[in-house]
Structure 1
């Protein structure tokens, strides 16, 4: 009897996870969520990506990976999410949120999934200013201001 309940609970958890997960892909400079294009993407180089609005081609988000001038020492690396239209910058050392080994496209798909989960991006690709403020409070470490150069 306990095994049946445990199995039922496990199946419910898996089905909820599959139900609430969204398929995010970046291909041919298009960011799609469940097959619907929500943003345009441009890979600048391995460490930078830009995302553009579908409505007016404004650059909404610039992602930068910073090695802090020490390419062989990774403990001081961080990333910057610069929400240009909202004039909000988030700097974080939590590379697990964005990294996907050396595949920058997969990493950017992970960033978009994260922003959708946090509701910073709406399902239509628009920025939600209220959720962006909360996102900044949760994740911004203000690294540049604390770094001596």
Structure 2
């Protein structure tokens, strides 16, 4: 009896991982979710990327800043601008999005993060309620506390 229960719990646990694992891939100007396009992508330059819904409306802009100190990385930060919601999130924690020096992989990690926190819906729309929670959790208001 104990063995069957353990096997059943293990199967349930493994199936929950498979259900939650979503494959995000950027191919040229398309963002694919489990092989199906749900967003459009534009790399403006190495530090500026835009994401569009399928109606060509920009929904998110990612931009990284070196704070005018290119050789000193401890003051670097990034901003996520949610265009239609007029909301900006600034953070110094690159651990959630950085994939070494590969900007495409970094953007894939960013989209996975947005999906995981349910800020981004699988139909390519922003969830305003989840965005509020996201801002509370991650916004460090970097520019507000930086002297120029």
For normalisation by structure 1, the TM-score amounts to 0.90
**Deviation of residue 35 (structure 1)?**
1.3
Classify the secondary structure of the residue corresponding to 2:100: coil
Using a 3 Å threshold, how does the CA distance of structure 1 residues 54 and 14 change in structure 2: closer, same or farther?
same
CA distance in 2, matches of 1:6, 1:73: 51
CA distance in 2, matches of 1:137, 1:75: 23
1:1-149 map, 5 Å: 12-55=12-55, 57-149=56-148
For normalisation by structure 2, the TM-score amounts to 0.90
**Deviation of residue 17 (structure 1)?**
2.1
Q: Which runs of 4+ in 1 moved over 3 A?
A: 2-15
Classify the secondary structure of the residue corresponding to 1:76: coil
CA distance in 2, matches of 1:48, 1:26: 15
- Note the residue ranges of structure 2 that are not aligned, 5 or more in a row: none
CA distance in 2, matches of 1:79, 1:41: 18
* Superimposed CA distance per residue, residues 9-42 of structure 1 (whole angstroms, 9 cap, x where no aligned partner): 6665444223211000111200110112111000
CA distance in 2, matches of 1:5, 1:102: 46
Using a 3 Å threshold, how does the CA distance of structure 1 residues 6 and 35 change in structure 2: closer, same or farther?
same
CA distance in 2, matches of 1:67, 1:39: 28
CA distance in 2, matches of 1:123, 1:19: 14
CA distance in 1, matches of 2:3, 2:92: 42
Using a 3 Å threshold, how does the CA distance of structure 1 residues 104 and 7 change in structure 2: closer, same or farther?
farther
